[in-house]
Structure formats: C-alpha cells, structure tokens
Amino acid sequence: MKKTYELEDLDCANCARKMQEAIEKIEGVTSCSVNFMTQKMTLEADDANFDAILKQAVDTIKKVEPDCVVVL
C-alpha cells in the first residue's frame, strides 16, 4: 500500500532526510520519501501491517523533530 501524508512544521531539509532514512529501516517498509519542499511524506509498506508501520513512522518523525505533525 502506498499513501501520502501532509507534514506540518517540518523545519529543515536535513531533518527530512534523517526521517526518511530512519523510516526506511522499519521492517515492512518498501520505500519512503520525505519531501521538505512540499511538506509531504509518501510511505509504501506491507498492506497487512500498514497501520502498525505508520505508527512507527509517526513515532520516528517525533523523535527527529518533536514539533512536526503528520496529518492523518
């Protein structure tokens, strides 16, 4: 499954890169793209565990940049 989410308060391109690299390491993630310019994250992951993977991705984003909010 592939979905795109809007990100609010993503402050820098370096943080976006860190988020993307960390999310790509989550088990079940096929691909992830965090775009600073468009303030969007595209997540492609295993259909069966998508909700759990999304939760892990949101937690990862909070660790990198606590003020960033994923619009679900």
Helices 13-24 and 50-64 cross at an angle (nearest 10°) of 140
b (16+ CB within 10 A) / e for 25-49: ebeebeebebebeebbbebebeeeb
Provide the residue ranges of all domains of the chain, joining segments of one domain with +. 2-66
Q: Which CATH class is domain 2-66?
A: alpha beta
Which residue is listed with tokens 């909070």?
A: 62
Q: What is the H or E stretch that residue 3 is in?
A: strand 2-8
pLDDT along the chain (72 residues), means of 10: 97 97 98 98 97 98 97 94
